[in-house]
């Protein structure tokens, strides 16, 4: 297990527990891949704690991404500054969120988590 992950999960020190954490992380990545792919392609999807329908993506029932009337991507953290929210949003094209000292940055700019348009020039 990677050293950074072991530091995050200090209480998991047996190989079996480490393996379970890796399985959880890999499963989160698969959910992110499936849900963001469905969202970006206009398909409905319901997987784990995430879903997409009617042009919106939800995490735990909270809308975190949508396409507005002009077809522009809009995102929010819906007030939840969690690693899962960050992962789901980072799964979207043109979105790069990182965190430093509890501050979130969206595509290199400070971001408070409120609704914001991800500008087309930042989309791949």
Written as one string, the DSSP assignment of 56-91 is EEEETTEEEEEE-TTS-EEE--TT---HHHHHHHHT
The answer, yes or no, to whether residue 124 has pLDDT greater than 50, is no
Alpha-carbon gap, residue 89 to 71, rounded angstroms: 17
The answer, yes or no, to whether residue 84 has pLDDT greater than 50, is yes
The tens digit of pLDDT for each residue in 36-66 reads 999 999 999 999 899 999 999 999 999 999 9
C-alpha distance from residue 28 to each of 24, 51, 72, 83 (Å)? 6, 13, 26, 11
pTM given for the model:
0.75
What number of other Cβ atoms are within 10 A of residue 20's Cβ? 13
């Amino acid at each position: 297990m990677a050293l950074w992950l072991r530091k995050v999960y200090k209480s998991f020190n047996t190989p079996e527990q480490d393996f379970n954490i890796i399985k959880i992380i890999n499963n989160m990545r698969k959910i992110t891949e499936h849900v963001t792919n469905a969202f970006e392609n206009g398909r409905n999807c319901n997987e784990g704690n995430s879903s997409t329908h009617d042009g919106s993506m939800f995490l735990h029932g909270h809308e975190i991404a949508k396409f507005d009337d002009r077809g522009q991507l809009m995102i929010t953290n819906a007030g939840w500054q969690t690693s899962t929210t960050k992962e789901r949003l980072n799964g979207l094209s043109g979105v790069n969120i990182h965190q430093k000292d509890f501050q979130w940055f969206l595509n290199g700019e400070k971001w408070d988590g409120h609704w914001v348009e991800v500008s087309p020039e930042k989309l791949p």
